[in-house]
Amino acid sequence: TQLLEQSPQFLSIQEGENLTVYCNSSSVFSSLQWYRQEPGEGPVLLVTVVTGGEVKKLKRLTFQFGDARKDSSLHITAAQPGDTGLYLCAPPGSGGYNKLIFGAGTRLAVHP
């Protein structure tokens, strides 16, 4: 059962543009993680958001956890080709034994 909906599914932009991707659910989560997966590699953890309304910044990436802890967004400023990849969200531990239940992801392509 897919708990999370990620949008958009695909995003193709030019270098230097800004973008926002979303992770939505009808469930309340105690925390949410964002991962980036580059082609041919495993996902890499970017951030964990814990508190409703929390905003975390990682260089040009800004992560926000919704006030109700049901949704999250990732905003990238001045995207670069190195940002290309699959962006996945998952609530850690919601599936028991700390296994991850991922959304389908947003596939981002940033063109030079």
Interface contacts to other proteins, rule CB under 8 A: 9, 33, 40-45, 48, 86, 88, 90, 92, 95-105, 107
* CB nearer to other proteins: pick between 66 and 103: 103
* CB nearer to other proteins: pick between 42 and 112: 42
> In the bound complex, what is the minimum distance in angstroms from residue 1's beta carbon to other proteins?
11
* Residue labelled with tokens 């926002």: 20
> In the bound complex, what is the minimum distance in angstroms from residue 78's beta carbon to other proteins?
26
* Residue labelled with tokens 């260089």: 59
* CB nearer to other proteins: pick between 78 and 109: 109
**φ, ψ (nearest 5 deg) of residue 18:** -100, 155
**φ, ψ (nearest 5 deg) of residue 83:** -85, -10
Q: Compute the distance between CA of residue 6 and CA of residue 9 in angstroms, rounded to an integer.
A: 7
